[in-house]
Amino acid sequence: MAAVLVEGLSKRYGSTVGVDDVSFEVAQGEVFALLGPNGAGKTTAIEILEGFRSRDRGRVEVLGFDPADRGTLRLLRERMGVVLQELAVEPFLTVREVLARNAGYYPSPKDPDEVLTRVGLVEKARARVKTLSGGQQRRLDLGLGIVGNPELLFLDEPTTGFDPSARRDAWELVRHLTEGGVTVILTTHYMDEAEALADRVAVISQGRIVAQGTPDHLGGRDVGEARIRFRLPEGVDPGMLPVPTAASGGDGLEIRTDHEIGVLRRLTTWSEEEGVPLVGLTVERLTLEDVYLRLTGYRSGEGTPGGDGPSGGHGTGQREGRSGR
C-alpha cells in the first residue's frame, strides 16, 4: 500500500493557482523529493498532506487517512513527524525539556536521550533553546520531527544552515530512518541533497507536476548529451585525435556527444596505440540541477516568484499552528 496517494489535487486562492491537478504516489519506506522554485506549489501541496490546509478537489490519502477528515486527524498526526524551516519553540526551555515534552504527545515515542544522540545535541541537552546557534536549532528541529517515532516524516529544507559535516550527519540520519521503514517526503533547494537521499523526485512548476522519476532518469537525464573532457600532454596536437574536439576551460578539451560509448572506445584505443595519455578523462551528463532548471523554465538573470499561497509562503501564524506536533 502506498504511504501517500495524491490524485488530481487542486487548490486555488481566489484567482491564484496553488496546485492544479497534481498526482503522485509515495511508497512505504521511500524518500520522495518534491522540488520546485518558490511559488511553485510545494508548500500548498505539503500542507494539504499534513492536514493544515484544505483542498478544493482531488483525492488524498496519507497512511490510509484523509487529512481533511478532522475526525481522524489526531490519529494521523500521531503517526507522522514534521520538520519545518522554522519552528516555534519556547526559548527558555532546555533542549532536553523540549524533546521530552513533545515526546509526550505521541503513543510510542523515541527516548529523548536517544534522539539527542542521533541529532548530535548531547552536549547541549541542558542548554536553553535561546542559546543555540542556527545549525544547532536545525538539529533540534530534526529531533522534534523524529521524537514521536513517526511512520511518515516531512522534511522541509532540513539542512539549511548546516555545515558540510552536519549535512552529511543529517543525511545518514535520514538513511537510518528509511532503513527502519520510515517514509520521508523531502523538499529542498539543494540538488545534491535530493540526489543523495531521494529514491524518486517530482518537479513542480506553476502548480503542476512537470516531471517525475528517479534522480538518475529525471527529464531524460540518462539519455541526454554527454560531455567528455580531458587534457593532452604538452606538445601533442589535438588534430591527431580520432574525433573532433572543442577547447574547454583550463587548457582542456571537450567532446559533446549522444554516443559516448563509441567515442570513448575510439579515444581510448587511439590513446593505447599511440601511447598518449588522456589526462583527467571524465564523462558527465546533465546534472540534476541542469535538468531542474530546464524543467522549471529558469533563465539566467531572471528572478523567481515569491512563496506559495496567498501570503507568499508559510506565514508566521501557519508555522505556529504546525509547530507543536
CA separation (Å) from 195 to 74, 117, 190, 208, 294?
33, 26, 9, 21, 17
Answer yes or no: are the C-beta atoms of 211 and 202 closer than 8 Å: yes
> Considering only 17-31, 80-94, 178-192, which range has the smallest mean pLDDT?
80-94
DSSP code of residue 124:
G
Question: What band does 319 get if pLDDT is binned at 50, 70 and 90?
Answer: very low
The mean pLDDT value of the chain amounts to 89
Q: Give per-residue pLDDT as tens, 39-62.
A: 999 999 999 999 999 999 999 999
Please answer whether residues 63 and 28 qualify as being in contact, where contact means their C-beta atoms are separated by less than 8 angstroms: no
- How many angstroms separate the CA atoms of 158 and 170, rounded? 8
Which uninterrupted H or E stretch holds 255? strand 252-257
pLDDT at 130: 94
**Which of 110-119, 126-135, 175-184, 300-309 shows the lowest mean pLDDT across its residues?**
300-309
- Confidence band, pLDDT 50/70/90 cuts, at residue 2: very high
CB 5 within 8 A of CB 174: no
Contacts of 224 (CB under 8 A, 6+ apart): 258, 285, 286
Neighbours of 235 (CB within 10 A): 5
Say how far apart CA 154 and CA 145 lie, in whole Å. Answer: 8
Cα-based distances in Å from 210 to 21, 40, 59, 313: 11, 11, 19, 21
DSSP string over 193-254: HHHHH-SEEEEEETTEEEEEE-TTTGGGGGGS-EEEEEEPPTT--GGGSSS--EEETTTEEE
Look at residue 324 in the predicted model and tell me its pLDDT. 43
Cα distances (angstroms) measured from residue 318 to each of 5, 89, 285, 302, 311: 24, 14, 41, 29, 10
* Residue 172 reports pLDDT greater than 60: yes
CB within 8 Å of 310: residues ≥ 6 apart: 13, 14, 16
**Mean pLDDT along residues 235-239:** 91
Q: Do the Cβ atoms of 280 and 230 come closer than 8 Å?
A: yes
Provide the β-strand partners of residue 227. 256, 284
Q: Would you say 218 and 296 are in contact if contact means Cβ atoms under 8 Å apart?
A: no
